[in-house]
């Protein structure tokens, strides 16, 4: 079965390249924010993430991700609001780095983790929210 565009948008988020990119550039961008290098942090955080996402959605075979247990989990629990929750957590993390407040950074990390783990923390219906 061919992976639809909606499934690609959903499942590219769990591709190892996307996860590695987001983790690596996030860490580097928080360091740059801590050092008050705003423009460098924005470029580091945004450009690679957008390019990797676009490339994966356009060219990657995401069928293995869709069929995996993690793929079934995100299809079931990753409502359209959850990427927004993860983005909000990233903003909190970034502000914590800028203001050099580790406790705020931990709060941001907790929000990001909630965005990923909500389906494990609360019972989610078996219906997919992404057709």
Domain boundaries, the chain: 5-121
State the greatest distance between any 2 C-alpha atoms of the chain, in Å, as a whole number. Answer: 48
Tell me what the mean pLDDT of segment 3-14 comes to.
Answer: 94
Query: Which residues are within 8 A (CB) of 10 and not within 5 positions of it... i.e. 6 or more apart?
Result: 74, 75, 78, 130
Q: Is the pTM of this model over 0.85?
A: yes
Question: Tens of pLDDT along 58-103?
Answer: 999 999 999 999 999 999 999 989 999 999 999 999 999 999 999 9
How far is Cα of residue 36 from the mean position of the Cα atoms in its chain? 24
């Amino acid at each position: 079965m061919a992976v639809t565009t909606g499934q690609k948008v959903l499942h590219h988020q769990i591709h190892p390249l996307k996860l590695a990119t987001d983790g690596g550039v996030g860490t580097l961008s928080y360091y740059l924010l801590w050092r008050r290098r705003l423009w460098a942090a924005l470029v580091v955080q945004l450009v690679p993430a957008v390019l990797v996402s676009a490339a994966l959605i356009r060219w990657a075979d995401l069928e293995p991700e869709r069929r995996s247990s993690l793929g079934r989990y995100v299809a079931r629990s990753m409502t359209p609001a959850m990427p927004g929750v993860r983005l909000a957590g990233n903003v909190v993390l970034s502000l914590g780095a800028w203001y050099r407040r580790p406790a705020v950074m931990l709060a941001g990390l907790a929000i990001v983790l909630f965005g990923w783990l909500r389906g494990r923390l609360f019972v989610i219906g078996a219906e997919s929210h992404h057709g």
